[in-house]
Structure 1
Amino acid sequence: MYQSISINKKSGIGLAMAAVLTMVFASCSNKTEEKGQGQKKQEVKAVNYPAKPVQFINPEYEISVPAELKPYEQVAVYAKVTGFVKRMYVDRGDRVRRGQLLAVLEAPEMNQQYLSDKSTEQKVYSDYLYAKQAYDRLVTASKTTGAVADIELDRAKSAMQSAKSAYDASKAGTAHSSQLQQYLRITAPFDGVITDRNVSVGALAGTGSNTPLFMMAQSNKLRLTLSLPEKHASSVKQGMPATFTISSQPGKTFNAVLSRTSGLLDQQDRSLTLEFDVSNPSGELQGGDYAQVKLKLQRKNPTYWVQSKSVLNTQSGTYVLTLNDNEVKRIAVSEGVRLDTLTEVFGNLSQQDKIIVKPSEEIKEGRIKK
Structure 2
Amino acid sequence: METSDALQTSHRHPSFRILWVLLSILVLVIVGVLSGLVPRWHHQQQLYAEVQSKGLPRVSVVHAKPASGSSRPVLPAEVKPWVEAPIYARISGYLKQRFVDIGDHVQAGQLLAVIDAPEQALELTKARAQLEQAEAALGISRVTAARWAELLQVNGVSEQDAAEKQADFKLKTAQRDSVMEDVRRLEQIQAFTRITAPFSGTITQRNIDAGDLIVANGGKELFHLAQTTKLRVLVQVPQQMTKGVEIGQHAELTIPGQSGRKFPAKVIRTAGVILPDSRTLPVELELDNTKGEILAGSYAELRLSEMKTGNVLSLPANALLFRPEGPHVGVVENDGKVVLRKVQIGRDFGQSMEILSGVKPEDRVIVNPPDSLSTGALVSVTSENQPEKHPEKQADKQPRQQPERTS
Which bin holds the TM-score, normalised by the shorter protein?
0.5 to 0.7
Contact 2:89 2:217 in 1 (8 A): no
User: CA deviation digits over 1:138-157, x for unaligned, max 9?
Assistant: 44455x37555444444333
Aligned mates of 2:236, 2:363 — CA distance in 1 = 35
Aligned mates of 2:134, 2:170 — CA distance in 1 = 12
Aligned mates of 1:333, 1:201 — CA distance in 2 = 62
2:215 match: 206
1:186 match: 195
* Identity between Structure 1 and Structure 2 (%): 28
Q: Does 1:240 align with 2:245?
A: no
Aligned mates of 2:301, 2:165 — CA distance in 1 = 78
Contact 2:343 2:356 in 1 (8 A): no
Q: Structure 1 counterpart of 2:83, which letter?
A: E
Unaligned ranges ≥5, structure 2? 1-21, 27-69, 315-319, 329-341, 348-354, 365-374, 377-407
Q: Displacement of 1:250 after TM fit? A: 2.1
User: CA deviation digits over 1:188-209, x for unaligned, max 9?
Assistant: 1221212222222111112274
Selected match of 2:127 from 117, 139, 152: 117
Aligned mates of 1:168, 1:75 — CA distance in 2 = 37
2:294 match: 285
**Which runs of structure 2 are paired with 1:155-304 in the superposition (5 Å)?**
155-207=164-216, 209-296=218-305
- Cα–Cα, structure 1 residues 234 and 158, in superposed 2: closer, same or farther, change >3 Å? farther
Contact 2:77 2:300 in 1 (8 A): yes
Q: Displacement of 1:294 after TM fit? A: 1.0
Aligned mates of 1:279, 1:209 — CA distance in 2 = 36
Aligned mates of 1:335, 1:220 — CA distance in 2 = 39
Contact 1:245 1:253 in 2 (8 A): yes
User: CA deviation digits over 1:8-46, x for unaligned, max 9?
Assistant: xxxxxxxxxx9xxx9xxxxxxxxxxxxxxxxxxxxxxxx
Q: Structure 2 counterpart of 1:107, which letter?
A: A
2:98 match: 88
User: CA deviation digits over 1:154-205, x for unaligned, max 9?
Assistant: 4333322222221111111111221222111111122121222222211111
User: CA deviation digits over 1:67-114, x for unaligned, max 9?
Assistant: 011112222222211111111211222111111111112122222211
Unaligned ranges ≥5, structure 1? 1-17, 23-59, 319-331, 338-342, 346-355, 363-370
Q: Displacement of 1:292 after TM fit? A: 0.8
**Which runs of structure 2 are paired with 1:63-142 in the superposition (5 Å)?**
63-142=73-152
Contact 1:63 1:294 in 2 (8 A): yes
User: CA deviation digits over 1:304-344, x for unaligned, max 9?
Assistant: x78979xxx999999xxxxxxxxxxxxx998999xxxxx99
TM-score, normalisation: structure 1 = 0.62
- Cα–Cα, structure 1 residues 61 and 308, in superposed 2: closer, same or farther, change >3 Å? closer
Give the aligned length: 271
